[in-house]
């Protein structure tokens, strides 16, 4: 049987605006609808950032996250992941504020940024102390951390501060983020280097920013990884053509996965492929 590839959808992120695409979901019902459509198109995981329902800008409001999760859970069984980084650079959140939605709402998974960097023009601070504290707390809460690595050095950070110290038993889940300004450039050679730096037994997904989304995630599939698509990373279906929904990007990725001879993982498949998701 061919390998099953997990598609994560990231429907909003904290950066795109309605000026970038009029199809950006912001209000709870829009985010839930988009997530359900993406689930029906083959997404097994949703990665969420909160948006202020009035301004559309990024938000750290736990009640927004609470509403999103409730609405999503009532319309589809997709695996839920919430950010602990989004808005850190734009809203100036403290580490405690970044972790609070995870503490209160206990999604299946949460992102855990594995190092400090210049994220565009802003400092994105993720010191070893923050990484360790987030990992310990997520372990207690039985929320799976997904280590977001924006460069090779961040894979080393996870190995040095988390794996070596035994704070959390492996295997780990990684996102190799290709193409954030300040992170590793999105080239095939660099994605190969990222993949080869991961430890045997860990699982990972490729993320590509902007026009690099489909090339990077397609190479991720060929290298044995999973994929993330969605408006957080890219709003175009093809050159000059906006995707009308996140589901269109998921459908496109599903077609590519099947054309390459693989299968698209269901929610049940994803829970088998990433056993750490089942610790609750």
- Position with the least CB separation from Zn ion: 83
Q: Radius of gyration over alpha carbons of the chain, in Å?
A: 17
The nearest distance, CB 82 to Zn ion, in angstroms, is: 9
Smallest gap from Cβ 229 to Zn ion, in A, equals: 13
Nearer to Zn ion, 1 or 90 (CB): 90
Residues 236-275 that bind Zn ion (CB under 5 A): none
Q: Which is nearer to Zn ion, 146 or 248 (CB)?
A: 146
83 touches Zn ion by CB under 5 A: yes
Specify the residue, 188 or 277, whose C-beta has the smaller distance to Zn ion: 277
Residue 78 to residue 44: CA distance in whole angstroms:
5
Tokens of 6: 């997990």
Judged by CB under 5 A, the stretch of 71-79, 80-88, 117-125, 128-136 that binds Zn ion is 80-88
- Site size for Zn ion (CB under 5 A): 2
For residue 216, the SS3 value is helix
Concatenated DSSP letters of 64-77: HHHHHHHHHHHH--
Cβ proximity to Zn ion: between 86 and 208 the closer is 86
Which is closer to Zn ion, CB of 92 or CB of 275? 92
Which is nearer to Zn ion, 143 or 238 (by Cβ)?
Answer: 143
- Other Cβ atoms within 10 Å of 127 Cβ, number: 13
Cα separation of 141 and 102, whole Å?
A: 8
d(CA 123, CA 126): 9
Instruction: Give the span between the Cα atoms of 247 and 41, in whole angstroms.
Output: 6
In degrees and rounded to multiples of 5, residue 147 shows phi and psi of: -75, 115
The distance of Cα 247 from the centroid of its chain, to the nearest Å, equals 16
Main-chain dihedrals φ then ψ at residue 86, nearest 5 degrees? -60, 130
Closest separation between CB of residue 263 and Zn ion, Å? 26
The minimum distance between CB 105 and Zn ion, in angstroms, equals 16
CB of 12 to Zn ion, least distance (A): 9
Tokens matching residue 51: 């948006």
Residues 6+ apart with CB under 8 A from 55: none
Nearer to Zn ion, 50 or 168 (CB): 50
User: Which part of the chain contacts Zn ion (CB under 5 A), choosing from 15-23, 26-34, 76-84, 87-95?
Assistant: 76-84
Contact string (CB under 5 A) for Zn ion, positions 33-72, x = contact: ----------------------------------------
Q: How far is the CB of 14 from Zn ion (least distance, A)?
A: 7
Instruction: Give phi and psi for 169, each to the nearest 5.
Output: -70, 135
| Angle at alpha carbon of residue 204, lines to 41 and 157, rounded to 5° | 145
205 binds Zn ion per the rule CB under 5 A: no
- Give min distance, CB of 49 to Zn ion, in A: 6
Residues near Zn ion, by CB under 5 A = 83, 86
């Amino acid at each position: 049987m061919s390998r099953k590839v997990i598609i994560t959808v990231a429907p909003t992120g904290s950066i795109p605006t309605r000026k970038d695409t009029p199809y950006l979901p912001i209000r709870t019902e829009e985010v839930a609808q988009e997530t359900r459509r993406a689930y029906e198109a083959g997404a097994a995981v949703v990665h969420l950032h909160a948006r202020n329902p009035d301004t559309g800008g990024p938000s750290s409001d736990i009640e927004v996250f609470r509403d999103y999760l409730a609405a999503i859970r009532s319309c589809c069984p997709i695996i839920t992941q919430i950010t602990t980084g989004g808005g850190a650079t734009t809203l100036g959140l403290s580490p405690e504020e970044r972790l609070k939605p995870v503490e209160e709402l206990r999604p299946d998974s949460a992102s855990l940024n594995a190092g400090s960097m210049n994220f565009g023009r802003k400092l994105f601070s993720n010191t070893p102390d923050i990484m360790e504290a987030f990992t310990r707390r997520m372990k207690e809460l039985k929320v799976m951390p997904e280590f977001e690595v924006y460069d090779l050095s961040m894979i080393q950070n996870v190995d040095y501060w988390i794996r070596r110290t035994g704070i959390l038993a492996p295997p780990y889940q990684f996102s190799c983020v290709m193409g954030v300004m300040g992170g590793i450039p999105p080239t095939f050679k660099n994605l190969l280097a990222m993949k080869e730096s991961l430890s045997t037994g860990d699982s990972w997904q490729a993320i590509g920013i902007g026009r690099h989304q489909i090339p990077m995630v397609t190479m991720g599939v060929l290298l044995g990884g999973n994929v993330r698509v969605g408006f957080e990373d890219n709003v175009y279906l093809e050159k000059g053509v906006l995707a009308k929904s996140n589901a269109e990007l998921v459908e496109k990725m599903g077609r590519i996965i099947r054309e390459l001879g693989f299968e698209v993982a269901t929610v049940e498949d994803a829970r088998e492929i990433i056993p750490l998701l089942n610790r609750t």
